[in-house]
Structure 1
Amino acid sequence: MKAIRIDTFGGPEVMNVKDVDIPNPAPNEVLVRNLAVGVNPVDFKIRQGQYPEVKQDKLPLTMGREVAGLVEAVGLEVDGFRPGDRVFAMIGADGGYAQYARVPAAHLAIVPSSLDWRHAAGVPLAAHTAWQALVEHGQLEQGQKVLIHGGTGGVGHFAVQFARIKGAQVYATASTESLPFLEELGVDRAIDYKNEKFEDICSDFDLVIDLIGGDTQARSWQVLGEGGRLVSTLTMPDAHHPQAKGKTGTRFTARPDGRELAEIAGLVETGQVIVQIQKVYDLTEAAEALDFIANEHVHGKVVLRVA
């Protein structure tokens, strides 16, 4: 099968199309014939050697962590899926950018009938991250106020929609040109980070979802009220920050969960959540796709079609 592999860390030049054997599923796994795969910022970090969980000793590896396709075969212990099922999943750090992928059955869910393959591939990792940030780590409840930094990206556009479903008051930041998309998603207040300071607009918030990091994260402490929570997917918030007293901060890495993904799929199926795809590349154009998400303001997701 064709797979996009890296043997070392670096720029686009380290990504190569390789012929490798089709993997055999373990007893608890499913072999998926990929028809589309998602592209995420974490893929760029892995390629560059900037992702702590993937060190040099993990190389060579096949890139990609989001897959959508048809069940090709199932392991001996799998009884929830059968060949021909339309499935999608978030997978580990090795295996997505390929014609086939091995996936633990517990990580899979059935693709909503309303989604084509490219939209299906844009869901798992990004939606898991948004859901877990808000629900598990943010403990968001109806009527609370949440600020989402980077509300138009892959994770961000799901986070905005999930927060609205939870009945929260949703503020989100984006670039000037991205504000119309934020408004389409239904935010209560779209903040232009180029021309507005979110700390001048937000106060006494219950939760901040940080998808940006750096100075944006540090400034976020001041918009939280007593007992507020700062949740980041990037770096651990500084608990010793002068304005962190009486508040909590956490950093997390999303995990795959088939039951959770099935719940998210239900929200998509009923039209409560849309999946925004900005651009589609061929599998062999994976390097270009990564550079696009690293250098552009992406609305939603970028995906690869798999021949």
Structure 2
Amino acid sequence: MKAAALSSFGGPDVLRLQDIDDPTAGPGEVRVRVKAAGVQPFDTAIRRGWTPPFLATRPPVVPGNEFAGVVDQVGDRVTGVEVGAEVLGFSTLGGYAEYVVVPEDQIVAKPKDMPWEIAGGFSGNAQGAHLALQAMGVGKGDTVLIHAAAGALGTLAVQLARAWGADRVIGTASEANHEYLRKLGAVPVTYGEGLVERVRAVAPEGVDAALDAAGPEALRASVELVKDRSRIRTMLSLEEAKELGIPLLGPGRSASRLASLVDLYARGQLTVHLRATYALADAAEAHRDIERGHGRGKIVIIVDATA
């Protein structure tokens, strides 16, 4: 099969189209012919050589931890999924390929009206935003600060915080994205020097919880603004979080969590803005795009463009 894979670690150019062996579904697993795969900062970190403690990476490595496609093979003991089912799901690696194999409990049914490119880039950011806001205890009456609010994860976090009853959601973003955030129901604030003062100006009563999807400076600003550090989480600044006494976000992705979020999308309560799509052969350019920062919405790799 074709895959955008790594034979070494480094800049975007190490991510190249390669021919690798087709995977086979084992007991309890399904194989999905991938239509689309989302691009995440997690993927770019893997490409640069970072290895999370639960994962062994040995080239060739295929990044991609969210995908959508059609089940084309089921292993023994799989009872809830049939060949031909249209699904979206999650993994740790493997999404940037024509086929991916995952346990049966890492996929859910794709709504008919959900476009493939949206489905392929949905599961990672939707679950990440849900996990973080849940860990922060976001709820009715809260003032919530979301850094990088116009990004793929930030957009969903803004919508979920509003749906869960937050009185005010403040989103940091470049000025070009301020009107977009207003349409989502957030109060936009510009990045950069003076951020803490600008947030205090729009929320003089204080900030109850903060989510960092921007980097260390945003996390440090959050510490100045939120009294209770247990109500701060970061998606990126793990070392700084340890230094500052901020709890790390634990695992928690599941088919049930994903299914509940897909249902919100199907009912029109979550929207996803598609920033750009790239062919599988152009995965390196997709990585360059996401690493530029300050973009609006989701970047997705189209693996199979056929209907």
- Residue 249 of structure 1 aligns with an amino acid whose one-letter code is I
For the residues of structure 2 that align with 1:226 and 1:125, how far apart are their CA atoms? 27
Segments of 4+ in structure 1 off by > 6 A? none
Aligned residue in 2 for 1:285: 282
More strand by share: 1
TM-score (norm 2): 0.90
Within-5 A mapping of 1:132-151: 132-135=131-134, 137-151=135-149
Alignment partner of 2:50: what SS?
Answer: coil
Partner of 1:191: 189
Q: Could you tell me which residue of structure 2 aligns to residue 244 of structure 1?
A: none
- C-alpha displacement of 1:150: 0.6
Tell me if structure 2 keeps the 8 A contact 1:46–1:54. Answer: no
Written as runs of structure 1 = structure 2, the 5 A alignment for 1:170-181 is 170-181=169-180
1:88-99 equivalences under 5 Å are 88-92=88-92, 94-99=93-98
User: What residue is the counterpart of 2:79 in the other structure?
Assistant: 79
Q: What CA distance in whole angstroms lies between the structure 2 residues aligned with 1:233 and 1:13?
A: 25
Q: Which deviations, in whole Å up to 9, do the C-alpha atoms of 1:148-199 show, x marking residues without a partner? A: 0110111111100111110112111101111111112111x11112475244
Alpha-carbon distance in 1 for matches of 2:81, 2:289: 35
Q: Gaps (5+ residues) in structure 2?
A: none
- Cα gap change, 1:265 to 1:197, in 2 (>3 Å): same
SS in 2 for 1:36: strand
Are the equivalent residues in 2 in contact too, given 1:70–1:86 (CA < 8 A)?
yes
Alignment match of 1:267 (pick from 264, 268, 283): 264
Contact 2:64 2:94 in 1 (8 A): yes
CA-CA distance at 1:50 after TM superposition? 3.4
Give the secondary structure class of the aligned counterpart of 1:158. Answer: helix
Residue 164 of structure 1 is aligned with which of 159, 162, 165?
162
Q: CA deviation at 1:122?
A: 1.5
Distance across 1 between alignment mates of 2:241 and 2:41: 23
Give the match's secondary structure for 1:127.
helix
Say whether residues 1:23 and 2:20 are aligned partners.
no
What is the distance in 2 between the residues matched to 1:208 and 1:175?
18
Aligned residues: 298
Cα offset, 1:256, TM superposition: 3.0
**CA offset at residue 263 of structure 1?**
0.2
Look up the equivalent residue of 1:221 and give its one-letter code: V
2:230–2:247 contact (8 Å) kept in structure 1: no
Q: Deviations over 1:32-71 (max 9, x none)?
A: 0101111111111111113544877533211111110011
What is the Cα deviation at residue 219 of structure 1? 2.0
**DSSP-derived class of the 2:227 partner:** strand
Equivalences for residues 122-141 of structure 1 within 5 A: 122-135=121-134, 137-141=135-139
Normalised to the residue count of structure 1, the TM-score between the two structures is 0.90
Following superposition, the deviation at residue 237 of structure 1 comes to: 5.0
Change (3 A) 1:270 1:6: same
Q: Structure 1 regions of 5+ residues with no counterpart?
A: 242-247
Q: CA deviation at 1:293?
A: 0.8
Percent of paired sites with the same residue: 33
1:253 and 1:279, CA in 2 relative to 1: closer, same or farther beyond 3 A?
farther
